[in-house]
Amino acid sequence: MMIRRIEDIVTVLLLSLLVFSAGFILSSADFWIFAEEIKDDVKAKITDLFYSHLYGIETEGRPYFLLSEDAHSKFLKEGLSVGIFFIVLMNSIFNVLFQPVFLSPLTPQVLLNAVALPFFIYGAIRYFKKIPIMILSFFLLSFYMATRGGAVIEALIRHAMLCELIYLMVSSAGFTGWITKKSF
């Protein structure tokens, strides 16, 4: 009982500190000055990541995936846009899921991932409140891997084994949730 009370007090103190700090940061000009200073660096880093991703897809990935011809050149001419961001995000997730172990797009694993996709989407939406960090980790890790090292090499399935396990878990939950219509 005593320990519970101390835990509650510590939790309240930490939350108060967090709220106070967040309020100060957001309402003071210091955060704005810091954001302005790092804005160019952050933009340059993000541009580099997107460039390496699109370049990797164009040079290494062309034999394996159906890609639009002009995504890379459009990015160089126009810079980052919503469309380019969407292409990179989708490429990342699909390269992680559907990249074969061997040089063939029709391995059983890829077929299983393709069949499980609707159940994964259903499970991710239905169970997002239960396991938000896990689902977000799946998307963020896929995105990070495919943009950091190259769309084809870094998204190699052995680098994305955690994403695969999350995918299988959420798909099986979505499948059983679908067929039983039970809410856990």
Write b or e for each residue in 29-46: b if 16 or more Cβ atoms lie within 10 A of its Cβ, otherwise e. eeeeeeeeeeeeeeeeee
Structure tokens that stand for 123 in this block: 């499970």
| Least distance to another protein, CB of residue 114, Å | 14
Structure tokens that stand for 42 in this block: 């952050």
Percent of the chain as helix, strand, coil, to the nearest 5:
75, 0, 25
Query: Could you tell me how many residues make up the chain?
Result: 184
Nearer to another protein among residue 91 and residue 113 (C-beta): 113
Q: Does 169 bind another protein (CB under 8 A)?
A: yes
Nearer to another protein among residue 84 and residue 142 (C-beta): 142
Give the number of residues in contact with another protein, rule: CB under 8 A: 30
Q: Does 133 bind another protein (CB under 8 A)?
A: yes
d(CA 45, CA 41): 6
Q: Does 134 bind another protein (CB under 8 A)?
A: yes
Run of H or E residues at 95? helix 82-98
- Using CB under 8 A as the binding rule, the residues of this chain from 138 to 157 that contact another protein are 157
What three-state secondary structure class fits 111?
helix
Q: Does 120 bind another protein (CB under 8 A)?
A: no
d(CA 138, CA 167): 8
Q: Does 131 bind another protein (CB under 8 A)?
A: yes
Q: Out of 32, 130, 136, 148, name the contact with another protein by CB under 8 A.
A: 130
Nearer to another protein among residue 58 and residue 176 (C-beta): 176
Q: Does 60 bind another protein (CB under 8 A)?
A: no
Q: How many CB atoms lie within 10 A of CB 168?
A: 14
| Least distance to another protein, CB of residue 104, Å | 12
- Enumerate binding residues for another protein (CB under 8 A): 101, 107-109, 112, 127, 130-131, 133-134, 137, 157-159, 161-162, 164-166, 168-169, 171-173, 175-177, 180, 182, 184
